[in-house]
Each structure stands twice: as C-alpha cells, then as structure tokens.
C-alpha cells in the first residue's frame, strides 16, 4: 500500500481498528521504501498526512473551546455559576479523535526515520561548481554522478521565484539532457564545453556537479536531494 488518500480519516468506515489497519499498512510501505533509500514522494506525502492530522486536532480543539456555553447550575450562596459546553462529542467524533491520537505518534516515528535517512544521504553529497560561476545562476546545468559510476547524468535547470503574502520561496524545474561518460579525457569541463557548443541560448550557464559515493535511486532520491541542495546553495549566495 504505497499511498494513502488525503481523506482516509473520514472516508468509508470510521472505525478505529479499520483505520489502524490502513495506517499501519501504509506506514509499512513507507518504511520499506525508506530502507531502499527511496525518499520521494514518500517522505513529502507522509509530512502532508501528518500536518493534516495536526490541523484537524487543533481545529477540533478551537471549535470546542470557542463554542458557546450554557448555564449548568448556579450557587446563590457563593454567587458562582457553572457552565457546560453546548456541543458534546458524539460517538463518531470520539472515534475520529481516537484515530487521530493513535496516528500522530505513529507518523512522528516514521518521520524521524525518514529525516535520519535524509540527513545521512545529504552528508554523502559532494557539491561544487564547474568552471566560472556567472552572476546569473537561476538557470544552467546540473551534473549528477553516484556510486563512483563513470556516467554523468546532465540536467538543465531553471529556478523560479514565487511570492505569497507572507513568504518568498524558490521552485526548480529540471529537464534531462543526456548521460555522458566521465573519464580522464572527458572531464566535467569538457562536458560543459560540449553543452555550450550544442546550446547557444545559454552562452555562459551556471554549472554545478553533485556526486555521492552511494548508489541512489535517481527519481526517488538523488535528483530531489540534488535539487534541494542546489536551491539551498543559490539562496545562500544570492
């Protein structure tokens, strides 16, 4: 069970044991992918589910706390009044709350595992520029090589800036160009020169290489890690 619906909590049967079975099957699948060093989209998907549950729990708390109260009793001797909430949890809400209370710690445990693997893989990345870095770094080339392989996978990248009311962040789009054999005679610099000759629209492209001594799944791990590393680097230098 590789995926879990974003509405898994409330769809079909709202039953603790049934939802527990769904969640544990999903988390087992996530854990299996983590063991194979496949982080994406599994880690980001798990983060999304975790945040959804936190918002649901907080939203329910806010709803309950802000709901109007009714007078339960009055003590005329002490001039005190006891109130009770008009809204009360029915059996369905109690079941959902039990599922949320069980699910959040389970997800936190697997998020810690995913974060630990992410940090380990990131430590094994070696990042460096190829040639002179131009002032404009929002577009260029990204060279990837893993596991001491001789082939280098080359991507063209484009970074865009997005702004919202509260924050400004960067997004990155990559396009696979080709795989080149890296050797003593065919260095990163010579690969870059060949790319310059083939694509005149980028006369002086920013070019970066990312290497790792580990064998990593390209789409599920190496490329996403490399993109995040590149964005982090460009954000720091610009």
- Residue 167 has a CB neighbour count (10 Å cut-off) of 7
Mean pLDDT of 169-193: 88
Task: Dump the DSSP string for 149-199.
Answer: -SEEEEEEEEEEEEE-SS-EEEEEEEEEEEEEE--SSS-HHHHHHHHHHH-
The angle that helices 42-66 and 16-35 make with each other, rounded to 10 degrees, is: 150
Mean pLDDT of 195-204: 85
CB proximity list for 79: less than 8 A, separation 6 or greater: none
pLDDT per residue as tens digits for the range 90-111 = 677 788 889 999 999 999 999 9
> How many residues belong to the chain?
238
Q: How confident is the model at residue 86 (pLDDT cuts 50, 70, 90)?
A: very low
pLDDT of residue 90: 67
- The yes-or-no verdict on residue 176 having pLDDT over 90 is yes
Q: How confident is the model at residue 74 (pLDDT cuts 50, 70, 90)?
A: very low
- The yes-or-no verdict on residue 147 having pLDDT over 90 is no
- Comparing 162 with 138, the larger pLDDT belongs to 138
Sheet holding 151-163, edge to edge: 125-129, 206-212, 139-146, 151-163, 168-181
* Rounded Cα gap, residues 201 and 199, in angstroms: 5
Strands 80-85 and 125-129: unpaired
Using a pLDDT cut of 90, give the percent of the chain over it: 58
* Rounded Cα gap, residues 188 and 182, in angstroms: 7
How does the average pLDDT of the chain come out, rounded? Answer: 85
Mean pLDDT of 99-124: 95
Q: How confident is the model at residue 88 (pLDDT cuts 50, 70, 90)?
A: low
pLDDT of residue 66: 47
Dihedral, CA of residue 13, residue 1, residue 34 and residue 122, to nearest 10: -80
Integer angstrom CA distances of residue 205 from 140, 142, 172, 202, 223:
5, 10, 16, 5, 19
> Radius of gyration (Cα) for the chain, nearest Å?
26
pLDDT per residue as tens digits for the range 23-67 = 999 999 999 999 999 999 999 999 999 999 998 888 776 545 544
Put simply, whether the predicted model's pTM sits higher than 0.85 gets the answer: no
Dihedral, CA of residue 43, residue 44, residue 45 and residue 51, to nearest 10: 110
- The yes-or-no verdict on residue 127 having pLDDT over 80 is yes
| DSSP-derived 3-state class of residue 80 | strand
pLDDT of residue 57: 86
Q: Provide the H-helix boundaries in the chain.
A: 16-35, 42-66, 91-123, 188-198, 223-237
- Comparing 217 with 200, the larger pLDDT belongs to 217
pLDDT of residue 22: 94
According to the per-residue pLDDT averaged within each range, which of 7-21, 98-112, 224-238 is highest? Answer: 98-112
pLDDT of residue 163: 63
pLDDT of residue 45: 94
């Amino acid at each position: 069970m590789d995926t879990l619906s974003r509405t898994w909590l409330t769809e079909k049967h709202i039953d603790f044991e049934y939802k527990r079975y769904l969640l544990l099957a999903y988390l087992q699948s996530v854990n299996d992918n983590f063991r194979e060093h496949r982080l994406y989209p599994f880690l980001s998907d798990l983060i999304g589910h975790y945040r959804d549950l936190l918002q649901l729990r907080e939203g329910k708390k806010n709803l309950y706390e802000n709901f109007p109260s009714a007078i339960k009793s009055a003590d005329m001797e002490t001039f005190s009044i006891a109130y009770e909430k008009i809204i009360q949890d029915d059996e369905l809400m109690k079941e959902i709350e039990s599922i949320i209370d069980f699910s959040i710690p389970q997800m936190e445990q697997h998020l810690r595992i995913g974060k630990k693997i992410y940090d380990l893989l990131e430590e094994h990345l070696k990042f460096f520029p190829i040639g002179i870095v131009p002032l404009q770094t929002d577009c260029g080339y990204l060279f990837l090589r893993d596991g001491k392989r001789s082939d280098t996978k080359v991507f063209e990248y484009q970074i865009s800036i997005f702004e919202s009311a509260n924050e400004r962040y960067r997004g990155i789009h990559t396009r696979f160009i080709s795989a080149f054999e890296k050797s003593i005679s065919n260095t990163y610099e010579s690969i870059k020169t060949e790319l310059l000759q083939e694509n005149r629209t980028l006369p002086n492209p920013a070019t970066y290489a990312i290497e790792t001594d580990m064998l990593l799944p390209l789409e599920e791990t190496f490329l996403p890690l490399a993109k995040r590393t590149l964005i982090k680097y460009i954000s720091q230098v610009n």
